[in-house]
Structure 1
Amino acid sequence: MMRNQPTSDRRPVDEEFLATVIEAFKAGDKQAVRMLYDRYDQAIYRFCRHLVVDEALGRDAFQETFIRMYEHRQDLRGTNIQSWLFTIARRVSLNLLRARRRTHEEFNETLHESVDHIDSDVLLREHIDRALALLPVALREALIL
């Protein structure tokens, strides 16, 4: 997936060559996709990781960014692919953060509902036990059985 090499996105770019690569990329050329991935993978990963502050979520955002890059390659206008990629990475990262927050909120809500339900069951049981304790022994035994 990612290499442990210095970022390669700081290399000087021949605009004409980049335009050719982008056109090939838009046409779905695998070599062009690989060239763009190799050029931007480290920078996009660091950006995603920085936004989400979680390594696993950062990897998810990174992968989703490149999936969307490929799926929406026809939407790229001009040759500013770096800006386009960082925009995708930002949106993907923020969407993953929102989804995670919703999941946590839903879990906490379910947990609170469960605790409230348990609390009401415990209170009901205590109330029944107190009421049973007030009954004569024979009647209490008959009700318990």
Structure 2
Amino acid sequence: MELSEVLGLVEQARGGDKQAFGQLYDEHARRLHRFIQIRLPNETQAEDLLQETFLKAWLALPKLKLEGLNFSAWLYKIARNLVNDHYRKVYRTPTSEDIEEHMELSADHNIEGDLDRVMMLEKVREVLPKLKTEYRQVIELRFIQEFSVIEAAEILNRSQVAVRLLQYRALQRLRNIINENYVA
């Protein structure tokens, strides 16, 4: 869906058009569900938070400023905050689910050029939960969800420079953990 179409639907939904909001839901729900599901161990909880994300979005639409809006990034930000709130309530740190089916490293995103992609995927899958939450989040957004730096910055509520630096540090830490655990 084109950005102009999305903004048109957002404008209609702001005016109370439930069908327009339904189209926005249809356009974003699948990817947003995957984003939430990676962070939550329970499918029912993921579904609940997906619905809560769209409910919060619906309720916030009248106050939403359209200028410079990236609706998708705004939804992901709501979802991220809800996931964080969920974990605060249950006093435990979020863990990354098995991401094998979600993570496909392309040649452009090769973490360690001299290692075989299949071996690297397995190593990354094993060590990703060992990373700090912010490192795990940036890797998931950039390489699993395939968001641009701009979109990741909006979702994480950070500047683009901060996201690039965080990504660099996360990849560096990932390499170090892999080297510590797998290189003799």
- TM superposition score category, shorter chain reference: 0.5 to 0.7
Unmatched tracts of structure 2, length 5 or more: 93-184
Q: 1:22 aligns with which of 3, 10, 14?
A: 10
Percent identity of equivalent pairs: 29
Matched positions, count: 90
Matched, 1:95 2:95: no
Contact 2:10–2:20 at 8 Å: present in 1 too?
Answer: yes
Contact 1:48–1:61 at 8 Å: present in 2 too?
Answer: yes
Deviations 1:39-69 (A, max 9, x none): 0011111111111232222112111101101
Q: Which residue of 1 aligns with 2:104?
A: none
What letter corresponds to residue 80 of structure 1 in structure 2?
N
Write the mapping of 1:124-135 to structure 2, written as runs, cut at 5 A. none
CA distance in 2, matches of 1:76, 1:82: 13
CA distance in 1, matches of 2:75, 2:6: 15
What letter corresponds to residue 75 of structure 2 in structure 1?
L
Q: Where does structure 1 differ by over 3 angstroms across 4 or more consecutive aligned residues?
A: none
Output the TM-score relative to the length of structure 2.
0.45
CA shift, 1:84, in A, is: 0.3
Contact 2:6–2:71 at 8 Å: present in 1 too?
Answer: no
Root-mean-square deviation over aligned CA pairs: 1.7
Of structures 1 and 2, the larger Rg is shown by: 1
Q: Which residue of 1 aligns with 2:52?
A: 64
Describe the SS at the equivalent of 1:72: helix
Write the mapping of 1:1-145 to structure 2, written as runs, cut at 5 A. 12-13=1-2, 15-78=3-66, 79-101=69-91
CA distance in 2, matches of 1:20, 1:66: 17
CA distance in 2, matches of 1:89, 1:20: 22
Unmatched tracts of structure 1, length 5 or more: 1-11, 103-145
Bigger proportion of residues as helix: 1
Q: Which residue of 2 aligns with 1:136?
A: none
CA distance in 2, matches of 1:71, 1:48: 20
What letter corresponds to residue 93 of structure 1 in structure 2?
V
CA shift, 1:86, in A, is: 0.2
